[in-house]
Structures are given as C-alpha cells and as structure tokens.
Amino acid sequence: MLPPSGYERRKEPEKVRAALIQAAAHLIAEQGLPRLTVDAVARAAGVTKGGLFHHFPSKQDLVRGVQETMIAFADETINAQMATDPEPHGRYTRAYLDGVFADHKLGGNTSSRTLCLAMLADPDLQEGWSTWVEGRVALHAATDDHPACALVRLAADGAWLNSLQHPDRPPPLPSEVRQMLIDLTYPRR
C-alpha cells in the first residue's frame, strides 16, 4: 500500500458550499445575475472551479442554491414571527406581511432584496419561489385560507415589488396601510 501523496486537508463540504453560495449572492447583488460566472464565484470563494462543480454541477444549480438559502431565511423569519402570535386566524399571513419587509441578509452582508430583483427574470427561479409560496399557503390553509388573507398576501407582494424599484432605499410601508392589512387578517367579530 502506498502512502498518501501531497497535502491532504480536512474537507468541510458544508463550509465550502456556504462560501460558494455567499460569493454567488454577493456577485449577483453587485453585478447582476446575467454577469455571474462560475470562475468569478470560485475565485471569490477561494475554491477551484472543480470544487464548485463538485457542489453545484451547473451555474443554474448554484443560483438555485442561492435561492434555497433565501427561502430558508424567509422560512426562519416567518416561523419566528408566527411563534409569537397568539391568534391562529391569519397568523401565517401576518408573519408573511412582516417577513416580506424584513431585510434578509445572506451571510450577514448581502441583502436578498437585490437578489430577488435579479431573479425575477428567470422562469426556473420564479417556479421555485411560486412552489415555496404555494406550499406555505397550503400548509396554513386551516388558518389562512380566507379571501381577506389572500388579499393581504397579494398586497404585500405588490408593495414588495414596488419597493424593488428603489434598491438602495426602499420606501417603508406606511404604518396606516400596514395596520389596515393586519386588521384584515383577524376574524370578523
């Protein structure tokens, strides 16, 4: 049996994957999705191109990885908000409204807002987002399957799309509008 040759470092695949996602997210936010290259991502993450392809077989798989990370942050934000809400009726919709306007950070410094704007033009990523939203709505159908809750979620999406027109300084949702939307999520008395 031959002894191992060359330098052998301990592999940390989760850290490598996270570094690749963070580098891709940063480059998408900085340069836009169309200008993203696997060479630039590998270089920014300090990984070989072969190492990148080990984790993500294609550029599209890498971008999906960024989206999956964004969705995980959205899930965390929504779940944390729901955990503090004592009223079941409309709980998911209220958390969704707050989650839409939370400034999610990928790796602590890259805003997901910019990434979402860049990804709006990609049908594959749109489908991934739609599937997530539809799944969450179905999961909370017992408490949030009401026309008023659907209206609030659509209004939140519209306000969010409007905010993307101002990537450096999104306008806040006026407190009166937010309160009107929140009021719609509670049971009629």
Of 10-19, 71-80, 106-115, 138-147, which has the strongest mean pLDDT?
Answer: 138-147
Average pLDDT value for residue range 69-86: 91
The tokens for 169 are 């300084």
Contacts of 3 (CB under 8 A, 6+ apart): none
Nearest CA to 178 out of 103, 116, 96 is that of 96
Q: Return the structure tokens found at 134.
A: 């539809």
CATH fit for domain 13-184, picks 2.40.30.170, 3.40.47.10, 1.10.3720.10, 1.10.357.10: 1.10.357.10
Rounded distance, CA 147 to CA 138, Å? 14
Alpha carbon 92 to its chain's center: 17
3-state secondary structure of 111: strand
Please tell me the predicted confidence (pLDDT) of residue 146.
93
Mean pLDDT of 37-47: 96
1's CB contacts (< 8 A; 6+ apart) are none
- The more confidently predicted of residues 45 and 164 is 45
CA distances from 150 to 70, 103, 107 (A): 22, 23, 31
Residue 60, strand partner residues: none
**For 5-19, 50-64, 91-105, 116-130, which range has the lowest pLDDT when averaged over its residues?**
5-19
Banded pLDDT at 147 (limits 50, 70, 90): very high
| DSSP tally for the chain: helices H, then strands E | 10, 2
* Among 182, 188, 4, 7, residue whose Cα is nearest residue 95: 182
pLDDT exceeds cutoff 60 at 4: no
In the predicted model, what is the mean pLDDT of residues 126-134?
90
pLDDT of res. 30 = 84
- Check residues 84 and 99 and name the one with the higher pLDDT: 84
* Higher local confidence (pLDDT), 105 or 178: 178
Q: How confident is the model at residue 166 (pLDDT cuts 50, 70, 90)?
A: confident
Residue 28 binned pLDDT confidence (cut-offs 50, 70, 90): confident
Average pLDDT rounded to a whole number, residues 86-108: 80
Q: Where are the domains of the chain?
A: 13-184
Residue 119 CA, distance from chain mean position: 11
Mean pLDDT, to the nearest integer, of 110-119? 67
Q: Is residue 116's pLDDT more than 60? A: yes
Classify 141 as helix, strand or coil: helix
> Of 79, 84, 97, whose CA–CA distance to 185 is shortest?
97
Read off the DSSP letter of residue 78: H
